[in-house]
């Protein structure tokens, strides 16, 4: 009878340990899934922001806008023909 009691006790301990491990793994899985969803939302936001920035960059760097700013805000103008020096 003594061996049977020891065997049952050992099996009971293993069952309790397995149950605790299962609870821990489930909790960790849910935590990681929640983190994954948050990161997915951040990825969508960052992709949208990247698209907006690319659009803004193409607008800012257009030749017409650069020339308009140079003329109106900076008072720049193309050089006169006599001011151009060609170096060979």
Q: Where are the domains of the chain?
A: 2-68
State if pTM tops 0.85. Answer: no
pLDDT score for 6? 92
Helix (H) or strand (E) segment spanning residue 2: helix 2-60
pLDDT band, very low/low/confident/very high, at 1 (cuts 50, 70, 90):
low
pLDDT score for 41? 97
Note the pLDDT tens digit of each residue in 7-27.
Answer: 999 999 999 999 999 999 999
Query: 10 Å Cβ neighbour count for 70?
Result: 13
Note the pLDDT tens digit of each residue in 26-36.
Answer: 999 999 999 99
């Amino acid at each position: 009878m003594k061996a049977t009691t020891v065997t049952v006790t050992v099996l009971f301990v293993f069952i309790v340990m397995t149950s605790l491990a299962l609870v821990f793994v489930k909790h960790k899985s849910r935590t990681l899934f929640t983190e994954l969803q948050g990161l997915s939302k951040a990825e969508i936001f960052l992709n949208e922001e990247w698209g907006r920035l690319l659009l803004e960059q193409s607008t800012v760097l257009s030749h017409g806008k650069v020339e308009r700013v140079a003329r109106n805000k900076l008072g720049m103008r193309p050089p006169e023909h006599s001011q151009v020096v060609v170096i060979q």
